[in-house]
Amino acid sequence: VQLVESGGGLVKPGESLRLSCATSGFTFSGHYMGWVRQAPGKGLEWVSYISQSGLNIDYADSVKGRFTTSRDNTKNSLFLQMTNLRVEDTAIYYCAKEAPRAYGDLESWGQGTMVTVSS
């Protein structure tokens, strides 16, 4: 199982960024996928959780209305479109695959991509 995030970088408040997560080694279309972030020196925070089909998506209140999660099951890829970014969105963003038979637990994680929001 491999998950590789990309797309992070330095942006100004109010700007947008799109993260990608390329996966391999498992049946991508068969699993929920999640985005979890970690601000520098802080703990883990859920961002979103998307169903196998992409039709059901849950978002943290802190990103609702600004972030959009999607997936392309034909390309085994997960995406996070982030708009109207705030300084407090600065974090490492991880994509992760659900654990089997444990909805909401994350069995495999990418290495993360850093997003820095600063003027």
Partner 1 sequence: VLTQSPATLSLSPGERATLSCRAGHSVGTFVAWYQQKPGQAPRLLFYDASKRAAGIPARFSASGSGTDFTLTISSLGPEDFAVYYCHERINWPFTFGPGTTVDMK
Which residues bind to partner 1, rule: CB under 8 A? 36, 43-46, 49, 58, 60-61, 94, 96, 99, 102-107, 109-112
Q: How far is the CB of 94 from partner 1 (least distance, A)?
A: 6
Which residues, in sequence order, are CB contacts of 50 under 8 Å at separation 6+? 32, 33, 34, 56, 57, 69, 70, 71, 78
Which residue reads 């979103």 in tokens?
A: 48
Of residues 12 and 64, the one with the C-beta less far from partner 1: 64
Q: How far is the CB of 43 from partner 1 (least distance, A)?
A: 5
Are 8 and 59 contacting, i.e. CB atoms less than 8 angstroms apart? no
Of residues 19 and 106, the one with the C-beta less far from partner 1: 106
